[in-house]
Each structure stands twice: as structure tokens, then as C-alpha cells.
Amino acid sequence: MSTPLKNNIVEIENLSFGYSNRLLHQDISMRFPAGKVVAIMGGSGSGKTTLLRLIGGQLKPQSGCVKVDGKVVHEQDGDGIYLMRRKMGMLFQFGALFTDLSVFDNVAFPMRENTNLPEVIIRDLVLLKLNAVGLRGARDLMPAELSGGMARRVALARAVALDPQIIMYDEPFAGLDPISMGIIANLIRRLNDALGATSIVVTHDVHEAFLFVDYVYFVSAGKVVAEGSPQELSQSAMPFVHQFVHGEADGPVPFHYAAPDYAQDMLGAGRV
């Protein structure tokens, strides 16, 4: 379908994961090559966020594995996981800024916790990161005083505070106006290229994502249903991809949640 990708920094191999008896992912395999921006797309509730948590080692798969830099994530002990996470940055869905710390302290947080840098250097680094997202002037504000888009940008600055090799974005566009969305998309691309990092973007916003990502995985019902570059996928004839890209209400992804036959339900056994 596409050119084989080499030099993968994150690999998901035959991974299955679920809560209690409902399997969320079935035998999923993905590859994330170094230096690229890769999007994972799918409808709401298709377990995209869970995939990020599996990569970050916050959840353990039932079978299969996630490899980061060649090491299996769920086989690491506590210290190993923390060592691994220092190479990662993650932008949470609504920013997850620490509400009791100022913008400056939020960005400084990972540096203060994980390094022994003197405060002078931390100050310079924080201002550098804040400048990159255009919010150097907002350093003394509290998170409650920020708009949604600004909070997201601060969280982005915090996620890249330690110059991670892997940056994960969980729904970076959710709840943003078009201008903020454009800004964030632009930042994701620029930061990725400037840091030489690998970005994994989880989103359901096809149009915004297709503009700046290198590669796309489509996930549905716990499986990878399509993959390829945005160009390939926008011309794809696959019904699911077509439905998703063009935003049609009904198709392979049904409008109705699984239910007994409508006529039977209205007239049949359930009625007293």
C-alpha cells in the first residue's frame, strides 16, 4: 500500500488490550518512524487515547507489545518506565496544566523535577519554550486566566520542555476555534522538525490533520482499517475511509448503536 517505513522509534506489535471483557484493540500493529508526524485517526471511543497510554506505559497490554527505541515498554520496572518517559512529551486533551502553578512554573515543572539545572538556566529555557509557542508575555498568568487555545499552547511548551524524542498529542484540536487550530497544527509541525523528534497525533479532525502529517493510521472497531499518506488516503475508495474523510453520517460505521430490530422492539416482547 505504501513505501515501507524504516528506522522506527516506536513500534506496536500485535497488540491487544481491553477493559474487563470488552476488547478495545485486537491485534494492532503500527510503526512510527523517527522524524515523522504520524496521525492516528478514528471515531470517538475507538481507543485512540488508550494507545497513547500504552505507549507511555500507563497501561499494560493483554498480549503483544509496544517497543520504544527497541525496548518493550511493559517489561520495564518502575525506574525503567520513568527513564523511558523522560524521552517522551505528551500533550493531554485539555492541556492538563497544573492549576495551582503559574504558566512559567508549569513549563519549568519537568525541568525542576527531572534535572538539576540552576534556576537561572531554567528561566532561560522556559522563556525559550514559551517564546516558541508565542506566550512569553503570559508567563505570570495562572492557567485559569488562559483561553482554551492558549492553555493548549502552554501545555505544548511544557510537553517539549525537556526536548523529547517522542511527542504525543491527544486530541490537540478538540474544542478550539479555527485560528487556534491552525496555530497548533503549525506548531506541531515546526516543533517536530526543529527538535528532530517523532510526533504521534491522535485526532478525529481529518481536514486539519491531513494538512500537516506525514502518515495516517485509521483505527476502527479495534483494528487498523487503513494506513497511508494523506494524499493516498484522500483518494482512497475504501468505504470506511471515504465515510470518515467526507464526514458522512451512515456507512460502514453505523449510525445506530447495536440494537434489536426496530419494528420488533416497538411492537414485540418489551411491551407490557
Partner 1 sequence: MFKTLAGVLQHIGHQVVDGVLRLGYATRFFLYALKMSGESFRRFPLVIREIYFTGVLSLIIILVSALFVGMVLGLQGYNTLQRYGSSEAVGVLVALALVRELGPVVTALLFAGRAGTAITAEIGLMKATEQLSAMEMMAVNPISRVVAPRFWAGVISMPFLAALFSMMGVFGGYLVAVQLIGVDNGAFWSQMQSSVDWSDDIMNGVIKSCVFGVACTIIALFEGYDAPPTAEGVSRATTRTVVISSLAVLGLDFVLTAFMLH
Write down the least CB distance from residue 252 to partner 1, Å: 32
Q: 10 Å Cβ neighbour count for 240?
A: 18
| Distance separating alpha carbons of residues 83 and 70, to the nearest angstrom | 14
What is the C-alpha separation between 121 and 188, in angstroms, rounded? 25
Residue 110 near partner 1 by CB under 8 A: yes
CB of 82 to partner 1, least distance (A): 4
Contact flag: residue 32 with partner 1 (CB under 8 A): no
Q: Beta strands 198-203 and 166-170: pairing type?
A: parallel
Chosen residue from 3, 21, 44, 99 binding partner 1 by CB under 8 A:
99
**Positions 113 through 152 that interact with partner 1 (CB under 8 A):** 113-114
Binding residue (CB under 8 A) for partner 1 from 26, 93, 234, 236: 93
Nearer to partner 1, 53 or 74 (CB): 53
Which window, 19-27, 69-77, 87-95, 255-263, contacts partner 1 (CB under 8 A)? 87-95
Q: Return the residues of window 164-223 that contact partner 1 according to CB under 8 A.
A: none
Residue selected from 109, 123, 189, 242 as contacting partner 1 according to rule CB under 8 A: 109
Residue 15 or 55: the one with the smaller Cβ distance to partner 1 is: 55
> Which of 56, 61, 149, 228 touches partner 1 (CB under 8 A)?
56
- The nearer residue to partner 1, 49 or 236, going by C-beta atoms, is 49
Nearer to partner 1, 47 or 110 (CB): 110
Q: Can residue 90 be called a binding residue for partner 1 (CB under 8 A)?
A: yes
Identify the residue among 92, 217, 240, 244 touching partner 1 (CB under 8 A): 92
Min CB(86)–partner 1 separation in Å: 5
Burial of 120 (0-12, 13-18, 19+ CB in 10 A): exposed
Residues that bind partner 1 (CB under 8 A): 53, 56, 58, 82-83, 85-86, 88-90, 92-94, 96-100, 109-110, 113-114, 158
